[in-house]
């Protein structure tokens, strides 16, 4: 078997091991996928400055993320339907993150419930909230997260209205997965995935049980989202959340410096520069292109995290050089989980950690907290 040395290797394994509809859900973006492609292309275009004859024998990738020690500037981003990529996927992801010393964030749209993950992991994790019109339900989710000991709340700001993801509409993905004439052969060739689904604790939206009538496919889910997700969401709602959440608050989905300045004065402990993985406004800037202006706008008033196309330790290094305190992985995590469950996720984290460590050394840096723009080569240097 060919050794797994990159996230790209894990992506290829995932593509072969899970049904195409599930793979496409995690792999693709909205509309023409311009922003999805730019996330990758713009990170690739950044060049690093090679330095020599600097003592880099003693290096550290350790940092703090919203005041909590982490083994490296990395967290697992909140994503829906993780449990369809591997049975009990949220639990596997949370355990792998715990064992690697980094944060894990559970999505509102998870398969496993808040309580499932809390009982299985035994240590604090983050919870992500989508604001819905039913504020009573939102309040109940916040209370459940508090009782589960979640250490931070990630409030997603950029899904007031869902961007259309053409591949999801066409794929026929169902929740829970269902065998049809269209997908029978594809599913039948994925025995490991089938077994993980059969053994899984849940196969539907655990946190939303009883809330979505007849939510058996993504079309129904999209319709429910359209009816429940709140297009009237505004900055005043941050106060509503703050009044009900006693822990750390992180705001996800910032791209514009004006929004960043407002977020920085809203009481948030951190903001995440993110374009939802290229799954919302197609044609929006890549996250890495937006990052420097956001960092400049907040001027140190709050912690700035980065999300958008991270596939390697060098991507983490580049984002840190442009002012991010840490990064989140989404697609990279899903590929790893689908490829090999818990062990796949540990492999992905180690790939990123090792490349970050080596790239730090080759740019003359010994502590990730000291990374800044000086490690970047001038634009156009090749």
Task: Give the neighbor-by-neighbor strand order of the sheet with 126-130.
Answer: 74-76, 326-329, 303-307, 270-273, 248-254, 152-156, 126-130, 105-106
User: What is the spatial distance between Cα 297 and Cα 291, in angstroms, rounded to a whole number?
Assistant: 10
- Residue pair 347/337 in contact (Cβ under 8 Å)? The answer is no
Angle between helix axes 7-17 and 20-27 (nearest 10 degrees) is: 150
- Asked if 276 is an active-site residue, the reply is yes
- Which of 30, 45, 38 lies closest to 286 in space, CA to CA? 38
Q: Are strands 126-130 and 152-156 parallel, antiparallel or unpaired?
A: parallel
- Residue pair 273/294 in contact (Cβ under 8 Å)? The answer is yes
CA angle 194, 199, 204 (to 5 degrees): 80
**DSSP helix/strand/coil, 366:** coil
Taking the CA of residue 209 as centre, how many other CA atoms within 13 Å lie in the half-sphere pointing to its CB? 9
Burial (Cβ within 10 Å: 0-12, 13-18, ≥19) of residue 366? middle
DSSP of 130-147, one letter per residue?
E-BS-HHHHHHHHHHHHH
User: What is the spatial distance between Cα 282 and Cα 7, in angstroms, rounded to a whole number?
Assistant: 24
Encoded tokens for 340: 């090999």
Which of the residues 86, 92, 167, 276 is marked catalytic?
Answer: 276
DSSP of 311-341, one letter per residue?
-SHHHHHHHHHTT-SEEEESHHHHHHHHHHH
- Residue pair 114/150 in contact (Cβ under 8 Å)? The answer is yes
The neighbour count for residue 225, using CB atoms within 10 Å, is 18
What positions carry a catalytic annotation?
Answer: 276
């Amino acid at each position: 078997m060919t050794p797994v040395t990159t996230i790209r290797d894990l992506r290829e394994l995932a593509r072969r091991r899970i049904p195409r509809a599930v793979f496409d859900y995690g792999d693709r973006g909205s509309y023409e996928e311009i922003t999805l492609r730019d996330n990758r292309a713009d990170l690739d275009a950044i060049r690093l400055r090679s330095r020599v004859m600097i003592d880099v024998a003693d290096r550290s990738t350790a940092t703090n993320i919203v005041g909590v020690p982490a083994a490296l500037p990395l967290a697992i981003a909140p994503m829906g339907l993780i449990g369809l990529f591997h049975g009990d996927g949220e639990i596997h992801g949370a355990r792998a993150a715990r064992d690697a010393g980094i944060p894990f964030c559970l999505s509102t749209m998870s398969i496993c419930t808040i309580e499932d993950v809390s009982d299985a992991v035994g240590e604090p994790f983050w919870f992500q909230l989508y604001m819905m019109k039913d504020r009573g339900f939102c309040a109940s989710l916040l209370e459940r997260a508090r009782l589960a000991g979640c250490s931070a709340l990630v409030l997603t700001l950029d899904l007031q209205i869902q961007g259309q993801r053409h591949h999801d509409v066409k794929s026929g993905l169902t929740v829970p997965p269902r065998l049809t004439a269209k997908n029978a052969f594809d599913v039948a060739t994925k025995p490991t995935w089938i077994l993980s689904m059969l053994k899984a604790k849940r196969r539907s939206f655990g946190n939303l049980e009883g809330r979505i009538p007849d939510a058996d496919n993504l079309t129904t889910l999209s319709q429910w989202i359209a009816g429940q997700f709140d297009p009237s969401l505004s900055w005043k709602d941050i106060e509503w959340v703050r009044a009900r959440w006693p822990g750390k608050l992180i705001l996800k989905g910032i791209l514009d410096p004006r929004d960043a300045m407002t977020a920085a004065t809203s009481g948030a402990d951190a903001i995440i520069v993110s374009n939802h993985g290229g799954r919302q406004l197609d044609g929006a800037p890549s996250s890495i292109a937006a990052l420097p202006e956001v960092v400049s706008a907040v001027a140190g008033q709050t912690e700035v995290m980065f999300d958008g196309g991270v596939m390697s330790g060098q991507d983490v290094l580049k984002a840190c050089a442009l002012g991010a305190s840490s990064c989140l992985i989404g697609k990279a995590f899903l590929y790893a989980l689908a490829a090999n469950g818990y062990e796949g996720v540990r492999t992905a984290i180690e790939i990123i950690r090792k490349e970050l460590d080596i790239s730090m050394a080759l740019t003359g840096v010994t502590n990730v907290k000291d990374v800044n723009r000086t490690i970047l080569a001038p634009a156009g240097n090749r």
